[in-house]
A and B are shown apart, each in its own frame.
Chain A
Amino acid sequence: MPQARAEERDKLEELTRRIRRDIVVATTAAGSGHPSSSLSMVELCTSLFFGGVLRYDPANPQDPDRDRFILSKGHAAPGLYSVLAEAGYFPTENLQTLRKIGSPLEGHPNMNRLPGVEASTGSLGQGLSIGVGHALAARLDGRDSRVYVIVGDGESGEGQLWEAVMYAGNHGLDNLTCIVDHNGYQQTGAVADIQPLDPLTQKYEAFGWAAREIDGHSLDEVTDAFDWVRGIEGRPQAIIARTVKGKGVSLLEADPGNWHGKPIPPEEEAKALEEIGAPA
Chain B
Amino acid sequence: MTFGITRVDLEVGDSTRAAFGEALAAAGADERVVVVDGDVNNSTYTNKFKAKYPERFFNAGIAESNLVGIAAGLAASGKIPVVASFSTFLLSNAFDQIRMSVAFPNQNVKLVGTHAGISIGEDGPSQMAIEDVAQACAFPGMTVIVPADAPSAQAATQAMIEREGPTFLRCGRPNVPVVYPNGPELHVGRANTLREGDDITLVANGIMVAMALDAAQALADDGIEARVLDFHTVKPIDSETLEQAAVETKGIVVAEEHMAYGGLGATVAMALAERHPTKMAFVNVGDTYATSGKPDEILAQYGLTPDAILDAARRTLKG
List residues of A whose CB falls within 8 A of some B CB.
Answer: 64, 110-112, 118-123, 125-126, 128-138, 140-141, 159-160, 163-164, 166-167
Residues of B within 8 A of A133 (CB): 69-77, 81
Query: How big is the B interface, by class?
Result: 20 to 34
Q: How far is the CA of A166 from the CA of B78 in the complex (A)?
A: 24
Contact B72 A129 (CB under 8 A): yes
Residues of B within 8 A of A123 (CB): 96, 99-100
Known: A126-B97, A130-B69, A130-B76. A167 touches B63 (CB 8 A): yes
Is B279 an interface residue when CB atoms closer than 8 A count as contact?
no
Closest Cβ neighbor of B100 among chain A residues: A123
Is B119 an interface residue when CB atoms closer than 8 A count as contact?
no
Q: Would you call the interface of chain A mostly helix, strand, loop, or mixed?
A: helix
Contact A137 B65 (CB under 8 A): no
Is B66 an interface residue when CB atoms closer than 8 A count as contact?
yes
Contact A129 B70 (CB under 8 A): yes
Contact A119 B66 (CB under 8 A): no
Contact A132 B73 (CB under 8 A): yes
Encode contact with A along B207-233: 1 for CB under 8 Å, 0 otherwise.
000000000000000000000000000
Q: How far is the CA of A126 from the CA of B67 in the complex (A)?
A: 11
State which of B58, B68, B79, B100 has its C-beta within 8 Å of the C-beta of A120. B100
Encode contact with A along B39-77: 1 for CB under 8 Å, 0 otherwise.
000000000000000011010110101101111111111
Known: A120-B100, A136-B74. A129 touches B106 (CB 8 A): no
Closest Cβ neighbor of B105 among chain A residues: A120
Residues of B within 8 A of A166 (CB): 61, 63
Encode contact with A along B102-130: 1 for CB under 8 Å, 0 otherwise.
00111000000000000000000000000
Known: A120-B100, A123-B100, A137-B74. A129 touches B66 (CB 8 A): yes
Which of A118, A133, A159 has the largest count of B CB atoms less than 10 A from its CB? A133
Residues of B within 8 A of A128 (CB): 69
Task: Show 10 A/B contacts (Cβ-Cβ < 8 Å), sorted by A.
Answer: A64-B77, A110-B104, A119-B76, A119-B105, A129-B66, A132-B69, A132-B73, A137-B73, A163-B61, A167-B66
Residues of B within 8 A of A119 (CB): 72-73, 76, 101, 105
Q: How far is the CA of A129 from the CA of B101 in the complex (A)?
A: 10
Is B24 an interface residue when CB atoms closer than 8 A count as contact?
no
Known: A112-B105, A133-B70. A140 touches B34 (CB 8 A): yes
Contact B70 A122 (CB under 8 A): no
List residues of B whose CB falls within 8 A of some A CB.
Answer: 34, 55-56, 58, 60-61, 63, 65-66, 68-79, 81, 96-97, 99-101, 104-106
Closest Cβ neighbor of A127 among chain B residues: B69
Residues of B within 8 A of A129 (CB): 65-66, 68-70, 72-73, 97, 101
Which of B65, B77, B96 has the largest count of A CB atoms less than 10 A from its CB? B77
Contact B70 A136 (CB under 8 A): yes
Residues of B within 8 A of A140 (CB): 34, 55-56, 79
State which of A64, A112, A126, A138 has its C-beta within 8 Å of the C-beta of B100. A126
Q: How far is the CA of A123 from the CA of B63 in the complex (A)?
A: 17
Beyond A132-B70, A136-B58, 9 additional pairs, beta carbon < 8 A:
A121-B100, A126-B101, A129-B70, A129-B73, A133-B75, A133-B77, A137-B77, A163-B63, A166-B61
Residues of A within 8 A of B61 (CB): 163, 166-167
Closest Cβ neighbor of B103 among chain A residues: A120
Q: How far is the CA of A133 from the CA of B105 in the complex (A)?
A: 15
Contact A137 B79 (CB under 8 A): yes
Closest Cβ neighbor of B72 among chain A residues: A130
Residues of A within 8 A of B77 (CB): 64, 133-134, 137-138, 141
Q: How far is the CA of A126 from the CA of B72 in the complex (A)?
A: 10
Residues of A within 8 A of B75 (CB): 133
Residues of B within 8 A of A131 (CB): 73
Residues of A within 8 A of B76 (CB): 111, 118-119, 130, 133-134
Closest Cβ neighbor of A134 among chain B residues: B73
B53 to chain A minimum Cβ distance, whole angstroms, is 11
State which of A112, A121, A138, A167 has its C-beta within 8 Å of the C-beta of B70. A167
Q: How far is the CA of A159 from the CA of B101 in the complex (A)?
A: 16
Q: How far is the CA of A158 from the CA of B268 in the complex (A)?
A: 38
Contact A160 B100 (CB under 8 A): no
Residues of A within 8 A of B34 (CB): 140
Known: A136-B58, A136-B73. A163 touches B66 (CB 8 A): yes
The 7 closest A-B pairs by CB, nearest first: A133-B73, A129-B69, A137-B77, A163-B66, A163-B63, A130-B73, A160-B65
Q: How far is the CA of A137 from the CA of B77 in the complex (A)?
A: 6
Closest Cβ neighbor of A74 among chain B residues: B100
Q: How far is the CA of A81 from the CA of B68 in the complex (A)?
A: 26
Q: How far is the CA of A167 from the CA of B62 in the complex (A)?
A: 11
Known: A129-B70, A130-B76, A167-B60. A159 touches B65 (CB 8 A): yes
Q: How far is the CA of A62 from the CA of B80 in the complex (A)?
A: 17
Residues of B within 8 A of A138 (CB): 77
Residues of B within 8 A of A125 (CB): 65
